[in-house]
Structure 1
Amino acid sequence: MKKTISVFVLLLTIVLFSSFNRENAAPRLYPELDRYFAALNLKQVDQSHAQSLENIKSNLSMSNMDRADWNIIFYCSENSFRSQASQVFLQTLSFANKHKNVKVFSAGKTASGVDARLIDYLTQIGYKVSKTERRNATAYEVRFSDQADPIVLFSKPASDKSLPGSDVTSVIVCDSGKEAECKDIQTSSLQFKLPFEKVETADARDKAEKVLKHIATEMAYVTNKRN
């Protein structure tokens, strides 16, 4: 009888230990993405962004104490490049760093389309991207893990009804001081400024990639629980 109880206790211990390990294991990104984000230097954030980054990081940390969703919307002029990239990177890294209640969106003062250079870059660094359709326009499903739902990228204005209207952190990623089309973006909450350099249609590929890496680095910074 004692032997039977001992075996039962051993099996129960193994099951509980395995369950604990599964729960506490970091969610798995695709290997190429793991390598990409691991190689980013988190000391290379823009010091002029420091206050906004700390505010976003603080809000993100507080979301872990609440069971309700924490919504963040990145706004830009046309919702084609910087805001879309910020959405993808923050959602990916929130998942990887176990910020469980984070829901990330993006919008623009106007809508245009998702920049092909962003899609090329995401594919290059390890995302699995497939073309789809949303509201009779081209959209993209962006996958970063087989354990998570894809991100659906499509361009939309700030007035779009698919965007959350409450419990929102609003972040402006275009520069209203330099870009006239970025002024007067209406948001549903207090705005944080996180201006990234604008990439023009005629700009070379290396400039686009530099800006995207900068965005990825700052999204990695705010989601990193160790810094």
Structure 2
Amino acid sequence: MLYPEIQNTIQSFDFKQITEERKSILQPLVDFIQNKVNQHEAIRLNLICTHNSRRSHLSQVWAQTAAKHYNIKNVNCYSGGTEATALFPVVAETLSLSGFKIKTISEGKNPIYAIKFSPNEPPIIGFSKTYDDDFNPESEFAAIMTCSQADGGCPFIAGAEKRIPITFEDPKISDGTAQQKQIYQERSLQIGTELFYVFSQIKK
């Protein structure tokens, strides 16, 4: 069971807004997950962008939440970057607005957050790390490239069973502007809608 505030956010997701072109970009991820479900195998998704600070975290959190919502078992979502920086604080604030419960476990240059989507599920541990960090799987995972920079800059992801580019526009373009809160919210909801669509297509 998800937190009621997250349930309310999900009610606003409109799959009809996803274009056919976008659905074709999402389809390889649907196929990867479906194949794992059919084979009764663990599903590991590593969501990757350059700095592991914005889009990859939003994608990781929404994908894990979607798996729970649609009751798809054995799904573990991770995130990483081509370099480690820090989870941008506005990302945590944006997720809070959608109903996630967030605690800061440690502060410093690269803070660590516990992000909960359900009262009875373990939290997602959010901090910036490289995609091949020990915290992430070594093999048998899909590498989901959430930004074109990482996709272009990382021709090879060691251990990845499949590489799937699903890129999103960087909300960083709004940093320091009056539109920042709105742009981050829009990007988070777009990512949430598209990843919920992916998991809604899985036949158990």
TM-score range, shorter chain: 0.7 to 0.9
Matched, 1:221 2:194: no
Q: One-letter code of the match for 2:44? A: N
Counterpart position of 1:44: 17
Alignment of 1:62-211 (within 5 A): 62-133=35-106, 137-176=110-149, 183-185=152-154, 186-188=156-158, 189=160, 190-200=162-172, 201-203=175-177, 204-211=180-187
Distance 2:169 2:196 in 1: 18
- Give the superposition deviation at 1:101: 0.9
CA contact (8 A) 1:72 1:168 kept: yes
Residues 46 and 208 of structure 1, relative CA distance in 2, 3 Å threshold: farther
- The alignment yields a C-alpha RMSD, in angstroms, of 2.2
Deviations 1:172-220 (A, max 9, x none): 11123xxxx6632241323211110012233522111111111011011
Per-residue deviation, 1:67: 3.9
If the length of structure 2 is used for normalisation, what is the TM-score? 0.87
Q: Which amino acid aligns with 1:194?
A: I
Q: Partner amino acid for 1:184?
A: G
SS state at 2:53 partner? coil
Distance 1:226 1:157 in 2: 29
How far apart are 1:31 and its partner, in Å?
0.6
Question: Quick one: distance in 2 between partners of 1:198 and 1:117?
Answer: 13
Q: What secondary structure does 1:169 align onto?
A: strand
Rounded to whole Å, the distance in 2 between the matches of 1:157 and 1:139 is: 14
Give 4+ residue runs of structure 1 displaced > 6 Å after superposition: none
Gap change, CA 1:206 and 1:136, over 3 Å in 2 = closer
SS in 2 for 1:192: strand
* Secondary structure in 2 matching 1:105: strand
TM-score for the superposition, normalised by structure 1 = 0.79
Tell me the matched-pair count: 196
In 2, Cα distance between equivalents of 1:32 and 1:173: 26
Could you say which structure has the larger radius of gyration? Answer: 1
Q: Deviations over 1:80-99 (max 9, x none)?
A: 00000000000011011111
